[in-house]
Structure 1
């Protein structure tokens, strides 16, 4: 086929881009380019950028590529991207991002310089970052068995805080409006990720056998009003957009999130639940479902954001499809030596998407009510159960002290007026609304409250009948002396969400309504006079799990 002017232009541009990349690579691989001791320089490459680790700093450059969704061919586009990366990562990454550095050419020598924008000898721009220990990346910590629950909790708190303070779509002079975060745009994004996977022989069978297109289209249509209502209510915000385990690093007791999406408003201005879904998906795809369950519940503890659960499974499928697509493209790249591993990664993400799609089609949620006096271990036990099972825990103590939506709960003691019978009845009604959101989203709801009043138990039993969900009462009990000991320790220990002291415990004993015969039929007794570590073992929960497996679902 003869070469056309257009194809000649494209080829010339590609050759020029390759020459430029070789020049920049060579320059940043030499210690003399840097204005500080560089030591051994380490090069890390992605499909759109290259990072050079040199001494105390890391320098990230954008490749002169055009993938459609991102175009860095022009020098000014790469400069704008570097500047945007520093600005947009600030809410997530703390002090990691420093400034934009210029790569200058002076004769045959290249050097990095800060400031002085506009010099004609500038050939590229780099984001200068504080270098951190690569071993502290969450992905590396997880791979070596060193990622702990404290890291997961830190990530949940950090992400919740960044979402809480993020700009909202349509608010402020620089916030975008129009279609960003809309149901229509999400539909385009999901189907755009799905189409190449359907067309590729290596992934088409997995996509078809899991009925992913039919499930996605059905859920996108069903959830469209919910998605647009979420946007109208301010939940589409300036998010991270690329929140997987390679982009989070342990920093002391904090979790810093870096390398957010800076080149696409459509991928960054999203529902906060879609941002959270990426990290949940990545933890599960790497075989750590318990950490994903913990992250989700800690995020909900910090935000009370139960309404977002309705679309969470759809978002997880979407994120898994995107990662499967990236892995598939890597597997087909002739320049890569890890093609087989990339193909396996694509299969793993597709398996997760298929599992989540089945859960969307066939949800099987339960309503589990915690019951017991203060000090009976309900809160510690229910946290452990949520982590083991994937249930969504709704804490009465936390929600009572959440003064406004999306705000963290206060730990200050509430006045006595918050515990009158009328106030308690109103509080339990608010819990009903939260639990309804959880059950309607297809998740098991685990309600951490005392449920010492028959009327409150009856209200939740009515909700279970209304939604046709099976319900069990988890009766947590321990000797009275043990309850008193725990309540006293809590009063004199670190502040937490519970206001229950010795006087409250005494009042509970005097005023509690015992479980009646019908309630006892749907009760699982759990003796909590054990060490707290027992709650994290599946065998301690065996009576509950056996009951759930054997239930016929009648309420």
Structure 2
């Protein structure tokens, strides 16, 4: 009589599973036979139709890249790692073609084409001329020292790099495809499954004190944000994104910023909310560079895209991206649960980023106050980078409907009538409300020379129960006029103010009331511009923000 175990193993389902595994193993073996000799061929300089020099081979779990002279050639390995099956030649071809098509919009000319690999008379060649057995993606090589990951490791990432990355990504998101192939992509149900899956993997395999708290916080956030996730999907914010924007996939190249190696094998990981896409790069800058660079990227992306509604999702998506990279770091390091070894340092850094999202201090509202030329725009940008607040600008919002080149040209007088001025402050009030409700501090960059405008913002802060302060930026009238003239004759910015504007402001501004003065922090901007980047310059503001009670999440 057979045992229960033997009956179970001989059940139809068990037999089908065994047959399936055997079929898969057979496909892998057959696929490997079909490309036998390919690795040796691509290692030979003579294979290429251009000077190749010494071939450098770089292998990952699903691909191999051959660095040959000025070009790189990437092939997909004939493997079936679980999340995809690349054993068929046609599948690998489609994957190569997808890499070319999907990466070109963000990759700034890196992707050159897809080449067949053919066998003729037993010899493999790169190009047509025989039976095609595989395909390679041809790419232009770049200096790996210019990767954002390499620059970050050396402390060499610059504000210009960050601004270029933010604008490139925001511009892409604005025109990215919106016809998702499935309604489940980017849905609250799928996002919950993805986050719960990664939390379960980490909890089951890693012993870190922060993990249970992070998982519980994620569950609460998912409950609270499910309606917003669904609403943004319905409104078209789930788009064909990059999906894998860590620092290893961003490079300074040909005077611009290129982003490459996007997700091409799983639509569910690429068709995501644009907030989840930018959150990846924000997260990796927090983990591997400096927080002020992450803050700068987010602010520049918001200023270009205008998508301030994304802020409510940002903490959850930053935490999720950090958890994924923590798990990847464990896998790369060969970490095995149960062994008496520490979790690798990169994973710890990512877990700290995730934990930081659960412990953010409460929001603060900061109103810039000052005449044109007072330096408030330059100063408030630097403050936002330092403290992580979100900055909204009257100049940027006034010109938002205009195409980018036109945003640098002056608006007509109709945009500066009293009615238009009040309308832009109403718009800024709505944006500040949205920023504060998301849990972020807000810096509103406008002149705030009229009491009625200041009063409405203080009323908002009172309704929301957040501290509010006026940041008063000062300089002598002669300095103000000199700055305005220098700005008008130098590189254009968003401000349209001229010396006539300044004269009207000086004559009509409402003085700060005694009550307002008690809530005002004054700053003399007649200092070198580099002073704005120093925490010492902002000491009273930073002290206020650090003393704000932690938000309940």
Question: So what's the TM-score if we normalise by structure 2?
Answer: 0.91
In the alignment, what sits opposite 2:362?
364
1:176 alignment partner in structure 2 = 181
Distance 1:524 1:442 in 2: 23
Q: CA–CA distance in 2 between the matches of 1:24 and 1:367?
A: 61
Provide the residue aligned with 2:439 in structure 1: 442
What is residue 123 of structure 1 aligned with on the other side?
133
Is 1:301 the equivalent of 2:303? yes
1:287 deviates by 3.8
Rounded Cα–Cα distance in structure 1 between residues aligned with 2:83 and 2:548 = 50
- 1:551–1:76 Cα change, 3 Å: closer
Shift of 1:106: 2.8
Return closer, same or farther for 1:206/1:15 CA change in 2, 3 Å cut-off. farther
The answer to whether the 8 A contact 1:303-1:407 is kept is no
The 8 Å contact of residues 240 and 270 in structure 2, kept in 1 or not, is answered as yes
Match of 2:191 among 177, 186, 190: 186
Q: Distance in 2 between matches of 1:552 and 1:236?
A: 34
Between Structure 1 and Structure 2, how many residues are aligned? 533
Distance 2:394 2:273 in 1: 26
Alignment of 1:435-474 (within 5 A): 435-474=432-471
2:89 to 75, 79, 83: 75
1:49 to 40, 50, 63: 63
**Which residue in 1 is equivalent to 2:348?**
347
2:390 to 392, 397, 409: 392
Whether the 8 Å contact between 2:376 and 2:473 is mirrored in structure 1 is yes
Q: Which residue is 1:163 aligned to?
A: 173
* RMSD of Structure 2 on Structure 1 (CA): 2.4
List per-residue Cα deviations over 1:22-51 (Å, max 9, x = no partner).
733222112222222211111112222111
What is the CA-CA distance between 1:543 and the residue it aligns to? 2.8
C-alpha distance 517-333 of structure 1, shift in aligned 2 (>3 A): closer
* Contact 1:302–1:407 under 8 Å retained in 2: no
TM-superposed CA distance for 1:290, in Å, is 1.0
Q: Distance in 2 between matches of 1:131 and 1:524?
A: 51
Alpha-carbon spacing, 1:473–1:453, altered in 2? closer, same or farther (3 Å): same
Task: Determine if the alignment matches structure 1 residue 133 to structure 2 residue 131.
Answer: no
Q: Is the 8 A contact 1:398 1:497 kept in 2?
A: yes
Offset, 1:14 = 4.8
Note the residue ranges of structure 2 that are not aligned, 5 or more in a row. Answer: 1-5, 10-14
Q: Does the alignment pair 1:526 with 2:523?
A: yes
Between 350-359 and 219-228, report the one with greater CA deviation.
350-359
Q: Aligned runs of 1:324-335 on 2, under 5 Å?
A: 324-332=326-334
Q: More deviation in 452-461 or 50-59?
A: 50-59
| 2:376 alignment counterpart | 378
CA distance, structure 1, for counterparts of residue 449 and residue 250 of structure 2: 43
| 2:177/2:239 contact within 8 Å kept | yes
Over residues 113-163 of structure 1, what are the superposed CA-to-partner deviations in whole Å (9 max), with x where a residue is unaligned? 05x7xx5x2221111111112121111122223221111111111111111
Could you tell me which runs of 5 or more consecutive residues in structure 1 were left unpaired when the two chains were aligned. 170-174
Output the CA distance in 1 between the equivalents of 2:544 and 2:23. Answer: 70
Quick check: 1:502 aligned with 2:503? no
After superposition, the C-alpha distances for 1:310-335 in whole angstroms (9 at most, x for unaligned) are 1011110111111111112122279x
Task: Deviation per CA, 1:444-488: give whole Å up to 9, x if none.
Answer: 101111000000000100110111111011011111111111111
**Counterpart for residue 277 of structure 2:** 275
Does residue 310 (structure 1) correspond to residue 312 (structure 2)? The answer is: yes
Residue 492 of structure 1 deviates from its aligned partner by 1.5
Q: Cα distance 1:134–1:497, how it changes in 2: closer, same or farther (>3 A)?
A: same
CA contact (8 A) 1:273 1:312 kept: yes
| Whole-Å separation in 2 of the counterparts to 1:544 and 1:5 | 67
* Residues 1:538 and 1:454: Cα distance change in structure 2 (over 3 Å): same
CA distance in 1, matches of 2:46, 2:271: 40
1:65 deviation in Å?
A: 2.1
Partner of 2:43: 29
Partner of 1:424: 421
* CA drift at 1:18: 5.8
- Give CA-to-partner distance per residue, 1:82-136, whole Å, 9 cap, x none: 011111111111211111111222344321005x7xx5x2221111111112121
Alignment match, 1:172: none
> 1:58: which partner in 2?
72
